[in-house]
């Protein structure tokens, strides 16, 4: 059979909510031939669920300390050149004040696994934000913690938690992480977060070293088991002071294609057009939005420390990435047929 015809039939199946075989998914993931059709179906699916709304999240990078040593990440403990900082509760609240005035109704507190950031601190920050801004959602992205910590954060008012699984394949996971980390533990954390009641986000890097199309199929299968509310993916981008400094970046085109596949497989999901994608090229932010993404996370981190939160080379610190540029972002969204909405933007699932 003509392979192009075969894939487009499969895209119709995906769009109709049917599952595909592993080889069929691997073929879609690897080929650019149907990108236009995929984007078109994915955009129709996002419009059915979310109309033209794009939710804005204010990202606050609260600590650049991390006890882990993921081989891909510039914040890894072994990177002695990484400039470390930790925001105080007052500094975080100032970011929220600024974000609230700009129209943000979700604050995402993201950081490395900082051993000096106590549960008491995190709980205090979360409850202060919720007290001051009860109409806002608080999302945490602070890595792997004990069940009791996740529970305490939730009871302090945290609504959502982002924890990418990074790769769902055991052998691939081992190529990206030192022995001190485990995929089993990562998955256990994700299921704990769900059980506690969080809206949960997961995701993976596209084009990380040694990744195969079959690995990506495993990622999609894992996401089907987890059924997360939010799914974040972005291209791998090398960081100069990591063991992966000499690897190539992941493909932005393949990332956009996967955004479409995710939208078709998880029509209800909140899917961001990520910073790493926009770092490869500003036009990919727009492409992702036109291909199924419905969330943007501009950066509210104080400018004086923003450059220090360097996950990968040349991470965007200005332009549309900056929360302060929200009016430009609104114009861009309008130009491509969407609108920024100032609301919590919770997941819509039936
Ligand atoms: N390239 C792209 N994404 C990266 N992350 C960490 N390092 C890199 C990199 N070099 C992503 C991981 C992590 C998120 C906060 O940033 O997926 O979960
Ligand atoms: Fe730490 Fe996360 Fe970077 Fe791994 S990816 S080193 S856990 S900040």
Q: Could you read off the pLDDT of 95-154 as tens digits, one per residue?
A: 999 999 999 999 999 999 999 999 999 999 999 999 999 999 999 999 999 999 999 999
Q: Between 262 and 321, name the one with better pLDDT.
A: 262
Confidence category of residue 6, pLDDT binned at 50, 70, 90: low
Phi, psi angles (nearest 5°) of residue 54? -120, 125
Domains and CATH numbers, the chain: 3-341 (3.20.20.70)
Whose Cα sits closest to atom 8 in ligand 2?
112
Q: Could you read off the pLDDT of 67-98 as tens digits, one per residue?
A: 999 999 999 999 999 999 999 999 999 999 99
Strand order in the sheet with 230-235: 58-63, 106-111, 137-141, 160-162, 199-206, 230-235
**CA neighbor of 140 nearest in space, from 166, 159, 121, 113:** 159
Q: Could you read off the pLDDT of 128-139 as tens digits, one per residue?
A: 999 999 999 999
- The span from the CA of 290 to the CA of 271, in Å, is 12
Q: Could you read off the pLDDT of 201-227 as tens digits, one per residue?
A: 999 999 999 999 999 999 999 999 999
Q: How far is the CA of 238 from the centre of ligand 1 (A)?
A: 9
Q: How far is the CA of 156 from the centre of ligand 2 (A)?
A: 24
Determine whether the shortest distance from the Cβ of 73 to ligand 2 is under 6 A: yes
Percent of the chain predicted with pLDDT > 70: 96
Percent of the chain predicted with pLDDT > 90: 89
103 SS3 class: coil
Q: How far is the CA of 219 from the centre of ligand 2 (A)?
A: 19
Task: Quote the pTM value.
Answer: 0.96
Is the pLDDT reported for residue 2 higher than 80?
no
């Amino acid at each position: 059979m003509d392979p192009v015809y075969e894939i487009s039939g499969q895209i119709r199946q995906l769009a109709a909510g049917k599952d595909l075989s592993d080889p069929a998914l691997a073929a879609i993931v690897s080929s650019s031939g149907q990108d236009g059709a995929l984007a078109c179906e994915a955009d129709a699916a996002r419009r059915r669920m979310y109309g033209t709304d794009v939710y804005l999240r204010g990202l606050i990078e609260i600590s650049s300390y991390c006890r882990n040593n993921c081989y891909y990440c510039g914040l890894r403990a072994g990177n002695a050149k990484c400039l470390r900082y930790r925001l105080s509760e007052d500094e975080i609240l100032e970011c929220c004040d600024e974000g609230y005035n700009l129209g943000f109704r979700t604050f995402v507190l993201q950081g490395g696994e900082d051993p000096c950031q106590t549960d008491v601190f995190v709980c205090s920050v979360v409850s202060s934000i919720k007290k001051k801004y009860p109409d806002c959602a608080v999302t945490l992205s602070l890595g792997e913690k004990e069940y009791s910590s996740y529970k305490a954060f939730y009871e302090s008012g945290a609504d959502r938690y982002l924890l990418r699984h990074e790769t769902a394949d055991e052998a691939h996971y081992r190529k990206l992480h030192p022995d001190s980390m485990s995929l089993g533990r990562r998955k256990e954390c994700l299921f704990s977060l769900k059980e506690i009641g969080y809206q949960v986000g997961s995701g993976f890097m596209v084009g990380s070293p040694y990744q195969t199309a079959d690995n990506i199929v495993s990622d999609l299968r894992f996401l089907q088991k987890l059924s997360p509310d939010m799914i974040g993916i972005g291209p791998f981008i090398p960081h100069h002071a990591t063991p992966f400094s000499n690897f190539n970046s992941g493909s932005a085109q393949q990332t956009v294609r996967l955004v479409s596949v995710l939208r078709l497989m998880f029509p209800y999901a909140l899917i961001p057009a990520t910073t790493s994608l926009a770092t490869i090229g500003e036009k990919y932010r727009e492409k992702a939005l036109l291909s199924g993404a419905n969330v943007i996370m501009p950066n509210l981190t104080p400018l004086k420390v923003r450059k220090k939160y360097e996950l990968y080379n040349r991470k965007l610190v200005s332009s549309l990435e900056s929360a302060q540029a929200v009016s430009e972002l609104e114009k861009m969204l309008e130009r491509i047929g969407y609108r920024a909405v100032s609301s919590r933007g919770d997941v819509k699932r039936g």
